[in-house]
Structure 1
């Protein structure tokens, strides 16, 4: 993961966040890369490993089993964690389709993280710590009700953990970790059991 320093200075007519957001919107990011805003910087992440993509595909396929018609699953969707002025591009985001369908077609504004029903992050070797700590805290502060962390590099062995009941202090009240090979139940509105035994490590 490579960080591009965009700066903390304030433009005469705006806040640092506005400057960072405009810069993010205007970036010409190489195909497959992701640009995120974290700690006042724009961070570029390279394309993930094939196993990472394979897990994302399996999760997405399972989520569609019972997904209500008004919801949709998105990849490469920018989400703004408003309380912290952070912008992340999760591996998968489940949101009401109406929010995306009615978005301004002239801008690439991120959606508010609080509108997400589920965010899924799959760790890569270079970003595992960020997914476990920074993004965990940010999604909790942003009010994301379900955060699914699929961590192939957990020191206990490959794990999938569902975090629920976010607190404003940046923690989740509940966590349900399962090692790869064990089923993980996702509650309503998904009501599916995620099989992790086919996840590549």
Structure 2
């Protein structure tokens, strides 16, 4: 993750979040990069590069498998900004599953993030430079937002490459349950997904 691109302008009117959101809407982010809001600043997340290109391959395999059994009213989004209201945090996960009607109803001219509380599943695939954020900051953020399932696919876990679904979020920023699955074993996702991820197909 890069250093802060835009910090809160103390001379601006309104809450820091309002100023940062206005700035975020107007950013012209380079292709492949993601702009997120964290700790009252905007940061740019670079795209994965070789030797980290496997990141995109894993996300693509997860997306392809989810589509096989996903109910029609749900959609998978790759570059969707979601707002964690409790923390004034804006994340752009690798994958988000959300009711398509909510996204379709949003005003494209405003370019506001969606409410993270409406997401049914958030997927993050760690890169070497941001794995800690995915394990800690984003884990807490998605739990605080009430995201029912956070799937962390961590090729850099100290135990070895691991895919961990976290379920039953608490308001204190933790999940009650986690079920880590090492790469090589199938990972079964509950309804409404009903999918089995073949982690042995994930590139490492």
Determine the C-alpha separation between the residues in 2 that align with 1:152 and 1:122.
8
What is the deviation of 1:50? 1.7
Q: Which residue does the alignment assign to 1:39?
A: 39
> Which stretch has the larger CA shift, 44-53 or 122-131?
44-53
Aligned length: 201
Q: Which one of 183, 186, 191 corresponds to residue 183 of structure 1? A: 186
Moved over 4 A (4+): none
Q: Give yes or no for contact 1:74–1:94 (8 Å, CA) kept in 2.
A: yes
Q: Which residue does the alignment assign to 2:107?
A: 104
Cα deviations across residues 35-90 of structure 1 (Å, max 9, x unaligned)? 10011111111111320000000000000111000000000100000100000000
> Which stretch has the larger CA shift, 66-75 or 43-52?
43-52
Q: Which residue does the alignment assign to 2:22?
A: 22
| 3-state SS in 2 of match to 1:64 | helix
Structure 2, unaligned stretches of length 5 or more? none
| 3-state SS in 2 of match to 1:80 | strand
> Which stretch has the larger CA shift, 173-182 or 48-57?
48-57
Determine the C-alpha separation between the residues in 2 that align with 1:12 and 1:122.
35
Q: Which one of 40, 60, 63 corresponds to residue 60 of structure 1? A: 63
Q: Give yes or no for contact 2:82–2:92 (8 Å, CA) kept in 1.
A: yes
Tell me how large the CA RMSD over aligned residues is. Answer: 1.0
Please list, as runs of the form range in 1=range in 2, the aligned pairs for 1:162-181 lying within 5 A after superposition.
Answer: 162-181=165-184
Determine the C-alpha separation between the residues in 2 that align with 1:16 and 1:141.
20
What is the deviation of 1:5? 4.6
TM-score where L is the length of structure 2 = 0.96
| 3-state SS in 1 of match to 2:180 | strand
Determine the C-alpha separation between the residues in 2 that align with 1:73 and 1:8.
32
Structure 1, unaligned stretches of length 5 or more? none
Determine the C-alpha separation between the residues in 2 that align with 1:3 and 1:42.
9
Q: Which residue does the alignment assign to 1:148?
A: 151
Q: Which residue does the alignment assign to 2:85?
A: 82
